[in-house]
Amino acid sequence: MRKIALLLAALLFAAPAQAQQTKAAMTTEINTNFLDNTTGLITPAITRTTTIDMTNSWQQATQTRTITAASDTIVVGDYGHLLTYNNAGGVAVSIAQATGSFSTYNVWIKNIGAGNVTITPTISTINGAASIVVGLNEGLWIISDGTNYVTANLPTSINTMSLGQNGGASGQIVLRGNTSGATTMPVDATGNLSINSNNGNTNFGPGTGSGGFATFVGSTSGSSSFGVSTTGQALISSVDGSFSFGRGSAAGPTLFLNATTGTGSIGVTSTGHMFVNSADGALAIDAIVNSASLQLQGITSGVAFINAAATGGAITIAPGTLFLANTNNGIQNGFLGLRGSTSGEVDLAANTTGTAVTVTSSAGNATVALIGGTSGFTNLTATTTGGHLNYAGSGSSPTNSACTGFSLAGSSTDIAGRVTFTSATSCVINFGTAWQAAPFCLAAGNSAATTIDAISSTTQLTVQFGTAQTGMTWHCYGP
């Protein structure tokens, strides 16, 4: 045995130098040149098998394969090779599941074409995703962990890099997303930098616990910063605490705030008067900690506050007085216009001497709607010529309970109405909407003088007559 080992060693050192071979070529060479005896403790067959195992455990001699087609499949023979893709329209690349022959697999990828190279494993993931995209001039080392694939990028260290040239094309940096999209940073002919992203967003992220910031340095001194806090609140900081919008034209500067549907603006006129415009005419002041508050500073001293309740639904005015219109110069009476969400307007106005309030509506007769605590409403409406008051509720009309020949007059309500019936000494009607407590009711017969007894509950009105009647009217008011 020792002699055989010495003989093999002598042959190894005496053999001429050979070029590196691929795994397949090395396996063929061993099968061809090694002896194949079947006796002895260490046979040539065992030596051959062991040598092949050793060969399979070594990295394959690096070679290259160039692909220009629109699709490609990475095979076992590409193990350790550099695959170079070059297709302007992109390449769809598949690779087998990271098991079996691919359980200890690795391959190098380089894209020199304008189109993206999309690599998709069968079943396995790559960097935790179903596929990975390799952009122009990008490269990857793909490695199998026996279940899935991971990748590594070659690090690049550059002290100074110039993109573009004077007299030639302007420089540009293209940053591609790992699945799709790209952000470009080009300069124009005079060196002005632009940032263009695939969806119009540019994010400045923190490297530590602080928020992201963009800082603009003045040409002589000072700087201003735009950024976000650690919780995402927008921050604007300048060296002197001021922030100015200006323009060279006659119109004043305006700050436009764009929502998903509509735009609001804050600006000044050419003469310096400030205005606030919104898409729907509304101005909301929101609170982060305390209730929202609008402070109005007096010309000489003092402050007036308009505060919203903590839960909304109410406004407090402090010190406690709200004046509409200037009572000192008598230009016009105090006036409050309330516009409908779609059209129309209701106006509340004081008379000249301030002793009465008038209610008018652009849609016709003025109406005051009294809303129920849980549901429903009652409308009080003035007649066209005034002098009378009509009312109507949202509840159902009264119905018959015990009135033979019951016939309800139009516009009758629980509050007031008229009914006719077959001659009888009593009539019972059901209220359309139950009262909160039994109402006080007055009733009158319509066919003969009689005594009347009106008895009410929360759900019914019972009227008894001393002389038979063929109809009645009623008025009911809640307690």
Residue 368's alpha-carbon distances to 271, 342, 382, in angstroms, are 42, 19, 9
CA atoms of 95 and 121, how far apart (whole Å)? 5
In the predicted structure, residue 347 carries a pLDDT above the cut 50: yes
160-176 pLDDT, tens per residue?
Answer: 455 554 445 566 777 77
Q: What's residue 254's pLDDT? A: 73
Mean pLDDT of 428-437: 92
Buried b (16+ CB within 10 A) or exposed e, 255-275: eeeeeeeeebebbeeeeeeee
Task: Among 63-72, 89-98, 353-362, 438-447, name the one with the lowest average pLDDT.
Answer: 353-362
Q: Which residues face 95 on adjacent strands?
A: 74, 121
Q: For the chain, what is the mean pLDDT?
A: 76
pLDDT exceeds 50 at position 14:
no
Mean pLDDT of 292-314: 67
User: Residue 386: its pLDDT value, please?
Assistant: 64
Q: In which element (H, E) is residue 47 found?
A: helix 44-57
- What's the CA gap between 119 and 442, in Å, rounded? 88
Which amino acid appears at position 196 of this protein? N
Helix/strand/coil percentages in the chain, nearest 5: 10, 40, 50
The pLDDT tens digits for 194-248 are: 777 766 666 666 545 556 667 776 767 777 777 777 777 777 777 666 666 555 4
- Of all residues in the chain, what percent carry a pLDDT higher than 90? 29
* Residue that wins the pLDDT comparison between 451 and 30: 451
| Domains of the chain, earliest start first | 20-61 (no CATH), 65-152 (2.60.120), 395-477 (2.60.40)
Q: How is 216-244 classified by DSSP, letter by letter?
A: EE-SSS-EEEEEE-TT--EEEEETTS---
Look up residue 391 and give its amino acid: Y
CB-based contact 380:437 (threshold 8 Å): no
pLDDT at 39: 60
Is residue 334 very low, low, confident or very high in pLDDT (cuts 50, 70, 90)?
low
Q: How far apart are CA 128 and CA 121, in angstroms?
A: 11
Mean pLDDT of 119-142: 93
452 or 48, higher pLDDT: 452
Model confidence at 420, pLDDT cuts 50, 70, 90, reads very high
